[in-house]
Amino acid sequence: MTSKPRLFSGMQPSARSLHLGNFASALTQWNQMQSEYDAYFCIVDLHALTVPQDPEQLRESTRRTAAQYIAAGIDPKASTLFVQSHVDAHPKLAWILNTITGFGEASRMTQFKDKAAKQGKDSASVGLFAYPMLMAADILLYQTRAVPVGDDQKQHVELTRDLAERFNSRFGRTFEVPEVMTLKEGARIYDLQDPASKMSKSSTSDAGVVWILDDPAVTAKKIRSAVTDNDREIRFDRAKKPGVSNLLSINSALSGKGISQLEEEYAGKGYGDLKGELAELVVETLTPIRNRTLELLADPAELDRVLAGNADRASEIADATVRDAYEKVGLLLKP
Ligand code: ATP
Ligand code: LTN
């Protein structure tokens, strides 16, 4: 078997398409990590249920998310790409972790506070409260060493480390204590219409979000209509020129060129050039991924077969960890 260090990450199937931010930061970096790590990439559908979902749309979004991972370069033979609800061990270990998490500790999670505030405190579900312990289970089931996530998820990985250490010291060594691996900040992409907010699957307005599965003509139009500012200088300044800076970041993420090189190339040129060339670059990058995704989705039975095979592989490791944890806490094991 492999002796590469293990890596785990995931995304919620919370929209019908992934967006340019997911692609430019998470998917691109996951791709690069596949060869150095024994990587597990999960579509965390149980997490998606922590906020209201339309059942048919959730099922469809789960397949679409899987297809986009593969189309963007995640190789389901080299990495284990699977759907969380296909592996029963996840909610099982999450329950055990719930029993060793303090109510106060879980109440301090900022994502819970933000999402609960958005929904109104009384309509937020107990599932939303338990979200971080399910995420900890995801990670700990696989004896994961590295967890690549954006800044907003760091606190959850810290909690995961605390729970692993607590369990290990109470019941004996059971879990590897994972490390956060912060995704490169440079790759953060903002909304094209509201460059103060990050581009997000749950954005309420569509015009500022570049969806991987958008029609190329729609994508080009969104980029050409991106908000900029009234002066005409193309330079990176997040505070004073968020719109232009965002366009430079997107260009840099996709072309691999540094920001200062781009500033030099665009010296003396106008916003029209910046947007027109970026529209071409984005369309050129996303079109093959979109086409491949649509091809994969045209054969859902084959996609489901690949996902099932990967889930079986994941279950072998995850089931062994749950059995160990069950035994350590004193549950009577079924022979
Ligand atoms: P939601 O709105 O449902 O929270 P999201 O668009 O914020 O979704 P997540 O599912 O939370 O996306 O994140 C998936 C991955 O994509 C994470 O690793 C996250 O860091 C990355 N990501 C999300 N949005 C951006 C962005 N705007 N720029 C760069 N990376 C992003
Ligand atoms: N909460 C994460 C998704 C997620 C995850 C995980 C990431 C669920 N389980 C385990 C890393 C490891 C998010 O919203 N991006």
Per-residue pLDDT tens over the stretch 109-131: 999 999 999 888 788 999 999 99
Q: Is 30:39 a contact under the CB 8 Å cutoff?
A: yes
User: Among all residues, which ones are annotated catalytic?
Assistant: 115, 198, 201
**84 Cα to the center of ligand 1, angstroms:** 18
12 Cβ inside 6 Å of ligand 1: yes
* Average pLDDT over every residue of 217-227: 97
Burial track 97-132 (b if 16+ CB lie within 10 A, e otherwise): bbeebeeeebeebeebeebbeeeeeeebeeebbbbb
**318 Cα to the center of ligand 1, angstroms:** 26
Query: Global pTM?
Result: 0.93
Give the tens place of pLDDT for each residue, 63-112: 999 999 999 999 999 999 999 999 999 999 999 999 999 999 999 999 99
* Average pLDDT over every residue of 143-147: 97
Give the tens place of pLDDT for each residue, 291-321: 999 999 999 999 999 999 999 999 999 999 9
Q: Which fold has domain 206-294?
A: Tyrosyl-Transfer RNA Synthetase (1.10.240)
**182 Cα to the center of ligand 2, angstroms:** 13
Ligand nearest to the CA of 135: 2
Q: How far is CA 22 from the centre of its chain?
A: 7
The pocket around ligand 2, CB under 6 angstroms, is made up of: 8-12, 44, 47, 135, 138-139, 147, 149, 153
Give the tens place of pLDDT for each residue, 228-265: 999 889 999 999 999 999 999 999 999 999 999 999 99
For CATH 1.10.240.10, the residue range(s) in the chain are 206-294
Q: At the fourth CATH level, which superfamily is domain 6-187+299-329?
A: HUPs (3.40.50.620)
Q: From 44, 158, 160, 183, give the residue whose CB has the most ligand 2 atoms within 8 Å, as the site to mutate.
A: 44
Q: Is 59:66 a contact under the CB 8 Å cutoff?
A: no
| CA–CA separation, 208 and 223 (whole Å) | 8
pLDDT given at position 315: 98
Q: Which atom of ligand 1 is nearest to the CA of 151?
A: 20
For residue 136 the two structure tokens come to 């900890």
* Average pLDDT over every residue of 146-153: 90
pLDDT given at position 186: 56
Angle at 178 (CA atoms; ends 172, 181), nearest 5 degrees? 175
Amino acid 216 reads P
187 Cβ inside 6 Å of ligand 1: yes
Closest CA to 19 of 335, 284, 286: 286
pLDDT given at position 182: 80
